[in-house]
């Protein structure tokens, strides 16, 4: 601003000087026409004016130069500011991306927390006798398990053994009265049949759902002399219907012998569905529904034979490891409990 003002003043001064010089020149011309001139005085004046003009011109030039350099300085400062601005913007962008990254992580954590929430609630949910036991239901008997939308299980009547071997057992099969036929079809074995306080099969669909968590199977046997034996499997699970409720067992312990091992990795068969590993139809030959191989080393869903007739037939309730193929047991109970259960 100051240099601009200076330039304007200098220009005004220069114009004034030039005007004066022109006027002088015009006067000189006029004088030349009228009377003889005084060349020495005139030339001196012109010369001094010329010097002044030259001085002013150089001043002006200098000012221009200075102005130009000032302008360059301003431009450089502006460029510098622009650079700073860009750097600042880059930092803001970086900060923003970091923020969004953190926000995303937070969102993932919240999602995981939300997903784990129903899992936590299922540990409180009642879906077997073990969860009832942990809620202080410690008397053996019939219980109604509520429908569970999360597990997709319907309401179900079960018998809970809350007293033997630590309790918390869900009974999945029982033979003791002998009036209920176990020679049933696929659908009946799928959904279960019999009476929960007497002889029954809980149902393959229910057994499949109950054994989706690591499960223990305990089989208790009684013969006609009133002696008892047991077989326990630390691992027991049954696959879904699409996989024919295939049996998986492991980790045997007990005193009855391991007569279920022969049936490991076999599909469930019924009198109307031959899924066994035999040319024969084992379910029809043994008159039950079971994980038949070719055909049996045990037949816990076989025919109930009363005292006197229990040692004659190969289709009875047999456990080869104890009484062999031709002995039909008096009482059987199959029960399950989660591996994680603490009495």
Q: Which residues bind Ca ion (CB under 5 A)?
A: 274, 276, 278
Is 233 in a helix, a strand, or coil?
Answer: strand
Long-range contacts of 103-112, Cβ-Cβ distance < 8 Å, separation of 24 or more: none
Q: Nearer Cβ to Ca ion, position 28 or 277?
A: 277
Considering the complex, state which of residue 199 and residue 276 has its C-beta at the smaller distance from Ca ion. 276
Q: How far is the CB of 289 from Ca ion (least distance, A)?
A: 14
Nearer to Ca ion, 281 or 311 (CB): 281
In DSSP notation, 319-333 reads EHHHHBTT---SEEE
Count of residues in the chain: 343
CB of 263 to Ca ion, least distance (A): 14
215-222 vs 200-201, strand pairing mode: unpaired
DSSP state of 22: H
Residue 262: burial class (beta carbons within 10 Å; 0-12, 13-18, 19+): middle
Q: What minimum distance in Å lies between the beta carbon of 292 and Ca ion?
A: 8
Report the C-alpha gap between 198 and 193 in whole angstroms. 11
Q: What angle do CA 218, 266, 155 make, to 5 degrees?
A: 55
Residue (215 or 296) nearer to Ca ion, CB? 296
Of residues 13 and 278, the one with the C-beta less far from Ca ion: 278
Residue with smaller CB distance to Ca ion, 21 or 278: 278
> Residue 206, Cβ neighbours under 10 Å: how many?
22
Report the relative pairing of strands 247-254 and 318-319 from DSSP bridges.
unpaired
Q: Give the shortest CB-229-to-Ca ion separation in angstroms.
A: 30
Distance CA 167, CA 152 (A): 25
Main-chain dihedrals φ then ψ at residue 270, nearest 5 degrees: -130, 175
Least Å distance, CB 237 to Ca ion, is 24
**Smaller CB separation from Ca ion, 56 or 278:** 278
Q: How far is the CB of 277 from Ca ion (least distance, A)?
A: 7
Minimal distance in Å, beta carbon 284 to Ca ion? 9
Residues 6+ apart with CB under 8 A from 94: none
Beta pairing, strands 215-222 & 228-238: antiparallel
**Cβ closest to Ca ion, residue 258 vs residue 274:** 274
Say how far apart CA 132 and CA 141 lie, in whole Å: 12
Nearest of 239, 285, 286 to residue 265 by alpha carbon: 239
């Amino acid at each position: 601003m100051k240099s601009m003002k200076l330039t304007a003043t200098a220009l005004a001064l220069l114009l004034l000087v030039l005007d004066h010089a022109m006027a002088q020149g015009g006067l000189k011309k006029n004088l030349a026409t009228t009377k003889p001139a005084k060349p020495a005085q005139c030339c001196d004046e012109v010369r001094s004016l010329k010097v002044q003009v030259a001085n002013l011109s150089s001043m002006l030039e200098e000012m221009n130069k200075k102005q130009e350099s000032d302008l360059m300085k301003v431009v450089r400062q502006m460029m510098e500011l622009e650079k700073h601005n860009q750097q600042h913007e880059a930092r803001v962008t970086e900060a923003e991306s970091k923020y969004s990254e953190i926000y995303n992580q937070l969102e993932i954590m919240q999602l995981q927390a939300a997903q784990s929430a129903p899992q936590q609630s299922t540990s409180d949910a009642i879906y077997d006798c073990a969860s009832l036991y942990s809620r202080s239901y410690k008397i053996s008997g019939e219980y109604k398990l509520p429908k569970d939308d999360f597990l997709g299980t319907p309401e179900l009547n079960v018998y809970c053994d809350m007293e033997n071997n630590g309790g918390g057992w869900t009974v999945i099969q029982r033979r003791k009265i002998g009036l209920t036929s176990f020679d049933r079809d696929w659908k009946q074995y799928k959904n279960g049949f019999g009476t929960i306080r007497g002889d029954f099969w809980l149902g393959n669909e229910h057994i499949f759902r109950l054994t989706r968590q690591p499960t223990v199977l305990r089989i208790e046997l009684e013969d006609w002399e009133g002696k008892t034996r047991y077989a326990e499997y630390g691992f027991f699970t049954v696959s879904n219907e699409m996989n024919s409720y295939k049996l998986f067992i492991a980790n045997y312990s007990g005193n009855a012998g391991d007569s279920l091992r022969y049936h490991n990795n076999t599909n469930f068969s019924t009198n109307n569905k031959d899924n066994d590993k035999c040319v024969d139809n084992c379910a029809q030959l043994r008159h039950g529904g079971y994980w038949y191989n070719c055909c049996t080393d045990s037949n816990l869903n076989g025919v109930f034979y009363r005292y006197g007739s229990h040692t004659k037939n190969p289709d009875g309730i047999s456990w080869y490891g104890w009484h062999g193929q031709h002995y039909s047991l008096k009482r059987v109970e199959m029960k399950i409990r989660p591996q994680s259960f603490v009495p």
